[in-house]
Structure 1
Amino acid sequence: MDFGFQNDTGTTLTDIHPVLQTSLTGPWPLPHEVLYVAMGCFWGVERIYWSQPGVINTAVGYLGGRWPHPTYEDVCTGQTGHAETTRIVYDPTRTSAGDLLKVFWENHDPTQGERQGNDRGSQYRSMIVYTTEEQRQLAEQSRQTFGKTLAQAGRGPITTEILSLAAAGEFWLAEPYHQAYLFHHPHGYCNHGFKGFVCETPRLTN
């Protein structure tokens, strides 16, 4: 698949992730699992995750809404119900859902509702969309434990949604110019990074 989009340097973007050198649309090598996270503007989120050990592929898109084939402009109206979302494909023998969720909680503010920093609207809400039972359990466990950490620091309650992919609906890939945006525009807008609160890595106990 060739997106056929040219960036500022005139280079054509393709289906291959420029950092991870894997396909945005698959197939991906086995073993792999998929987790979706929304935590504000997806440019910075994707960069955080493509840097994590064990991640096979990242892509950005729109999830959690009602509108088929949404565009960025559609989503920005707040009427489609979608959130800006990063899809993470990872090798569970090299990393874990718990490791990826720790990154999620520590690198945005999950108490802000329909905003993230100066970005306002339902498309910037905090959300975890799981594809395995283990992911669900770890997401709920970590939301509870990290919520206690934030409460002890005087912060408000966590507003993060936790949904199955079946409940969230179809993931729609964002336009080519959004994919790996901060690789092609390394000084572009990003409001993500460590927010000062450490999340204990969630683990399942037997």
Structure 2
Amino acid sequence: MVTPEEALPGRDTPLPVVTDNVVLHHRQVPPFPEGLEVAVVAMGCFWGPERVFWNTPGVWSTSVGYTGGHTRNPTYEEVCSGLTGHTEAVQVVYDPKVVTYKDLLKTFWEGHDPTQGMRQGNDLGTQYRSGLYYLNDTQKAEAEESLKAYQQSLTKAGYGQITTEIAAAGPWYYAEDYHQQYLHKVPNGYCGMGGTGVSCPIGLGVSEG
């Protein structure tokens, strides 16, 4: 992982991005309607995960971007160089009265293999690492609890240790417009998502031992 001192400096001006999600026809940039909440997740290449979440009932809008690194307003090419520290991520705007953060965590864990470190399938690099970036203490607690629960299920299934980064959400940098809702714009585009096939026991509690 690149250090803050080694990271590219970036720029002060954000990358241009259109206001609305072209699939859900709601805003993908703030402000969002009162009562909605935001989750930030990273599951490898962000094209496939965004499609999973825009198809999730209760999700109001989605966008893809970069988080967890050091470079200000990075470009896709800079992130892919490994010199920004960012990972490709999805910002999910959702209605907690319809879908809870725990529900989204279940989708997160089951949608990729969180034991692969700095990769996801054939995609290799720090920008493809798994991550949960919490925006409040409740999200932090639920993310940590879900990791413990899913680790038990993965261990029983013969998988190794989860390498998912759980950290406070830092600055969110929107990816270039052509990445937003990419698999809607390019239906046959690349999607490297692949889960473990292990069900996540969200809501069932964590057994001892």
In structure 1, how many angstroms separate the alpha carbons of the residues matched to 2:147 and 2:54? 23
Residues 156-196 of structure 1 show CA distances to partners (whole Å, capped at 9, x for unaligned) of 1000011111xxx2110000000000000011011225431
Identify which of 135, 140, 144 aligns with 2:139.
Answer: 135
| Alignment coverage as a number of residue pairs | 190
In structure 1, how many angstroms separate the alpha carbons of the residues matched to 2:185 and 2:25? 14
In structure 2, how many angstroms separate the alpha carbons of the residues matched to 1:158 and 1:51? 26
Q: Which one-letter code corresponds to 2:177 in the other structure?
A: P
Question: Contact conserved, 2:64 with 2:179, CA < 8 A, in 1?
Answer: yes
Secondary structure of the residue aligned to 1:86 is strand
Identify which of 110, 119, 126 aligns with 2:130.
Answer: 126
Question: Contact conserved, 2:40 with 2:92, CA < 8 A, in 1?
Answer: yes
Deviates further, 131-140 or 192-201? 192-201
> 5+ unaligned residues in a row in structure 2: which ranges?
1-15
> 5+ unaligned residues in a row in structure 1: which ranges?
5-13
Question: Contact conserved, 2:110 with 2:195, CA < 8 A, in 1?
Answer: yes
Identify which of 149, 155, 161 aligns with 2:165.
Answer: 161
Q: 1:202 deviation in Å? A: 3.7
Q: Which residue of 1 aligns with 2:76?
A: 72
In structure 1, how many angstroms separate the alpha carbons of the residues matched to 2:39 and 2:136? 9
Alignment of 1:1-206 (within 5 A): 14-165=18-169, 169-202=170-203
Q: Which residue of 1 aligns with 2:11?
A: none
In structure 2, how many angstroms separate the alpha carbons of the residues matched to 1:146 and 1:77? 31
In structure 1, how many angstroms separate the alpha carbons of the residues matched to 2:72 and 2:129? 20
In structure 1, how many angstroms separate the alpha carbons of the residues matched to 2:201 and 2:176? 35
In structure 2, how many angstroms separate the alpha carbons of the residues matched to 1:17 and 1:146? 31
Question: Contact conserved, 2:121 with 2:193, CA < 8 A, in 1?
Answer: no
Instruction: Name the TM-score, length of structure 1 as normaliser.
Output: 0.88
Secondary structure of the residue aligned to 2:39 is strand
In structure 2, how many angstroms separate the alpha carbons of the residues matched to 1:142 and 1:22? 29
Question: Contact conserved, 1:138 with 1:202, CA < 8 A, in 2?
Answer: no
Gap change, CA 1:203 and 1:100, over 3 Å in 2: farther
In structure 2, how many angstroms separate the alpha carbons of the residues matched to 1:202 and 1:188? 34
Indicate the percent of aligned positions where both proteins have the same amino acid: 49
Q: Which structure 1 residue ranges, 4+ long, deviate > 6 Å from structure 2?
A: none
Q: Which one-letter code corresponds to 1:46 in the other structure?
A: E
Residues 8-36 of structure 1 show CA distances to partners (whole Å, capped at 9, x for unaligned) of xxxxxx42111111111122222111110
Gap change, CA 1:111 and 1:92, over 3 Å in 2: same
In structure 2, how many angstroms separate the alpha carbons of the residues matched to 1:54 and 1:29? 14
Q: 1:132 deviation in Å? A: 2.1
Secondary structure of the residue aligned to 1:127 is strand
CA RMSD of aligned residues (A): 1.5
In structure 2, how many angstroms separate the alpha carbons of the residues matched to 1:61 and 1:42? 8
Question: Contact conserved, 1:82 with 1:123, CA < 8 A, in 2?
Answer: yes
